[in-house]
């Protein structure tokens, strides 16, 4: 049986409020699992996640997990 490769993840933290943001940006934050300031979510590092991150990069902090 082949050993599964460990998928890389990124840690995403909401550091700015969603108040005043566009509806699509709020929906993107919620899709990443971020609802309140200080929320942290581990997400897979793939093109879909990178697109979400780029959409709300001014509201979040991203680190390698």
> What CATH number should be reported for the domain holding residue 32?
3.30.1390.20
Asked if residue 54 lies in contact with residue 47, where contact means CB atoms within 8 angstroms, the answer is no
Is residue 59 situated within a structural domain? yes
**Residue 39: exposed, middle, or buried by beta-carbon count in 10 A (0-12, 13-18, 19+)?**
middle
Alpha helices in 1-65 (DSSP H): 23-31, 47-55
Q: What domain count does the chain have?
A: 1
Residue 11 within a domain: no
The C-alpha atoms of residue 20 and residue 26 are separated, in whole angstroms, by 9
Domain around 22: 18-64
Q: Is 30 helix (H, G, I), strand (E, B) or coil?
A: helix
Region 13-29: mean pLDDT is 97
Confidence of residue 2 (pLDDT cuts 50, 70, 90): low
Residue 9 lies in a domain: no
Whole-prediction pTM: 0.87
Per-residue model confidence as pLDDT tens digits over 37-54: 999 999 999 999 999 999
């Amino acid at each position: 049986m082949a050993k599964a490769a460990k998928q890389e993840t990124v840690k995403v933290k909401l550091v700015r409020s969603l108040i005043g943001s566009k509806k699509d940006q709020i929906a993107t934050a919620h899709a990443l699992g971020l609802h309140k300031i200080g929320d942290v979510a581990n997400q897979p590092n793939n093109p879909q996640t990178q697109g979400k991150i780029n959409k709300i990069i001014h509201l979040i902090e991203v680190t390698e997990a």
